[in-house]
């Protein structure tokens, strides 16, 4: 958020006036990492949650989706600002807060990656099975999606990856908006939905809608994609902020479109969807009955783009974070300096590293075993608990980092950024507690 540029200089280097004079002009031609985070952050599960909210409460919670976008804009901006203002990666910042951050991240990234890998592959396979019901099994398509995602990220650098994700976001955008237009939204009721109200029984749906708009760990990966784009210092701050806003305006359009579909197609007719990704298969059936096979197939293609885009985005972004995590620990053991780590990300060195490729393999092959087994209860519980804690962890550590002398004075949080991160942190703590209670 622009309020984070404060009026007086600090101990962190150039004055704000000099920083502004050397600042690159925000331009649409630079947009890229935001497209990647939008394509990665809104997975099939997010779309189902929004559909169900629309089907149960109509347009009433539209305001919550918009607030969710504002919260995530603040979080992603804070992540990108840390990378650009300090010249350090987010894991370097976490490491400076104490050993506990390393322990948490190490356990999280291993367990989360194992379970998420199976989830992402299954989600990508579901629409393919629906499109080709006489073809191979779900497991075959799931494994194929995982291996194709692995090969794509393994052999391509960030520039190609970004172009691919731009195509993915285009497919998602066109298909979801097309279906929303086809169901003929009620603009009068939609406008009423901008007024904050809480229908009976809607509190946790509302909090989930706010908290679920566009990503979890992909929020943390945003700073790494910013560096991979070649943005490594504060002169790119205006560009990053424009890029970030584009990401979450795009995400907001997705969410609003799905809420419209849920409100118009499901709420009015009392149709219920299955929970999880299978709910989108149910929606495809409803669309076919109402609008014909072409619209239904287009929706399934958009469903595939959503799921496979999230898979490829995580395969790249979280592997990049893991590689930085390992490199940081290795340098500490060697006693070598930490300078230049952001520049190494920008140069693509992390994408060629052994830890990057090792984590790619971890995301792909061990989870295949889960496709043939019911997920063990204990593993699901650990995965759920670790995942629930991640967003509070991210929001609160960013507040800590960006209000301390670890950040140059002119790029520390202003009042608006602090309010948004604090509200986000509180929201995610409430959701975390509820999710942990639900698990048990």
Condensed to tens digits (0 to 9), the pLDDT of residues 295-326 reads 989 988 988 998 899 999 999 999 999 999 99
**Residue 242 in contact with residue 31, Cβ under 8 Å?**
yes
Nearest of 268, 262, 310 to residue 282 by alpha carbon:
262
pLDDT at 50: 79
Mean pLDDT confidence for 376-404: 79
CB-CB contact of 328 with 92 (8 Å): yes
- Check if the beta carbon of residue 240 is closer than 8 Å to that of residue 231: yes
Nearest to 239 by CA among 4, 33, 6, 8: 33
Distant-in-sequence, close-in-space partners of 138: CB < 8 Å, separation ≥ 6:
122, 125, 126, 129
Stretch 409-428: mean pLDDT, rounded?
A: 90
Sign of CA dihedral 155, 156, 161, 164: negative
Q: Is the pTM of this model over 0.95?
A: no
Share of the chain above pLDDT 90, in %: 38
Q: Is the pLDDT of residue 402 over 90?
A: yes
**pLDDT for the residue numbered 385:** 67
Structure tokens at 246: 């584009």
Confidence of residue 225 (pLDDT cuts 50, 70, 90): very high
Please choose, from the candidates 436, 440, 13, 434, the residue with its C-alpha nearest in 3D space to the C-alpha of residue 204.
Answer: 434
Statement: residue 270 has pLDDT above 70: no
- What is the per-residue pLDDT for 429? 84
* Two structure tokens written together for 145: 């999606």
Which is more confidently placed, 341 or 364?
Answer: 364
Predicted local confidence at residue 18, as pLDDT: 39
* CA dist., res. 165 & res. 212, Å (int): 20
Measured CA to CA, the distance from residue 380 to residue 370 in angstroms comes to: 11
Contact between residue 112 and residue 381 where contact means Cβ atoms under 8 Å apart: no
* 215-243 mean pLDDT: 91
Q: What percent of the chain has pLDDT over 70?
A: 87
- Per-residue pLDDT for 15 more than 60? no
- Taking residues 354-376, what's their average pLDDT? 88
The rounded mean pLDDT for the chain is: 84
| Rounded Cα gap, residues 412 and 402, in angstroms | 5
Given a contact cutoff of 8 angstroms between Cβ atoms, the answer to whether 346 and 227 are in contact is: yes
Q: Write down the pLDDT at residue 2.
A: 43
Of 51, 121, 174, give the one whose Cα is nearest residue 365: 121
Say if residue 17's pLDDT is above 50: no
Residue 405 C-beta-side C-alpha neighbours within 13 Å: 2
Reply yes or no on whether the pLDDT at 406 is more than 90: yes
> In a 10 Å sphere around its CB, with 0-12 CB exposed, 13-18 middle and 19+ buried, how is residue 378 labelled?
exposed
Nearest to 213, CA basis, from 361, 104, 110, 63: 63
Who contacts 230 (Cβ-Cβ below 8 Å, separation ≥6)?
346
Q: How far apart are the first and last CA of the chain?
A: 38
State yes or no: pLDDT of 400 exceeds 90: yes
Task: Please tell me the predicted confidence (pLDDT) of residue 376.
Answer: 54
pLDDT at 257: 87
Please state whether 337 falls in left (phi above 0), alpha (psi between -120 and 50) or beta: beta
pLDDT at 215: 58
């Amino acid at each position: 958020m622009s309020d984070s540029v404060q009026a007086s200089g600090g101990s962190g280097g150039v004055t704000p006036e000099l920083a502004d004079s050397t600042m690159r002009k925000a331009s649409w031609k630079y947009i890229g990492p935001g497209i990647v985070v939008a394509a990665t952050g809104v997975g099939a599960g997010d779309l189902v949650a929004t559909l169900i909210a629309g089907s149960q409460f109509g347009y009433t919670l539209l305001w919550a989706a918009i607030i969710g976008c504002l919260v995530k804009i603040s979080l992603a901006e804070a992540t990108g600002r840390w990378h650009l203002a300090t010249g350090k990666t987010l894991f370097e910042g976490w490491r400076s807060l104490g050993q506990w951050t390393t322990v948490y991240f190490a356990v999280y990234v291993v367990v989360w990656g194992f379970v998420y890998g199976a989830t992402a592959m299954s989600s990508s396979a579901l629409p393919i099975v629906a499109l080709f019901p006489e073809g191979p099994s779900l497991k075959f398509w799931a494994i194929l999606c995982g291996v194709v995602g692995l090969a794509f990220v393994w052999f391509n650098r960030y520039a190609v990856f970004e172009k691919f994700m731009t195509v993915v976001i285009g497919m998602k955008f066109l298909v979801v908006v097309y279906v929303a237009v086809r169901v003929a939204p009620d603009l009068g009721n939609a406008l009423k939905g901008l007024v904050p109200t809480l229908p009976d029984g809607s509190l946790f749906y509302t909090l989930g809608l706010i908290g679920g708009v566009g990503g979890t760990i992909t929020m943390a990966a945003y700073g790494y994609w910013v560096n991979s784009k070649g943005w490594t210092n504060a002169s790119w701050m205006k560009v990053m902020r424009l890029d970030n806003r584009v990401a979450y305006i795009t995400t907001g359009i997705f969410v609003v479109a799905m809420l419209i579909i849920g409100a118009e197609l499901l709420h009015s007719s009392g149709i219920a969807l299955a929970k999880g990704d299978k709910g989108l298969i149910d929606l495809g059936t409803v669309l076919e009955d109402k609008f014909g096979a072409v619209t239904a197939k287009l929706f399934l293609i958009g469903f595939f783009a959503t799921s496979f885009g999230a898979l490829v985005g995580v395969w790249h972004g979280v592997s990049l974070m893991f590689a930085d995590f390992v490199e940081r620990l290795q340098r500490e053991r060697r006693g070598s300096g930490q300078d230049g780590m952001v520049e190494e990300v920008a140069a693509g060195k992390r994408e060629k590293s052994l830890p990057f490729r090792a984590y790619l393999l971890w995301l792909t092959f061990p989870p295949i075993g889960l496709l043939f087994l019911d997920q063990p209860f204990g593993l699901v519980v650990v995965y759920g608990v670790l995942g629930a804690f991640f967003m509070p962890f991210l929001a609160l550590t960013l507040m800590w980092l960006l209000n301390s002398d670890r950040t140059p004075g002119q790029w520390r949080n202003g009042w608006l950024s602090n309010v948004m991160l604090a509200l986000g942190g509180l929201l995610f703590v409430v959701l975390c507690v509820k999710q942990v209670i639900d698990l048990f």
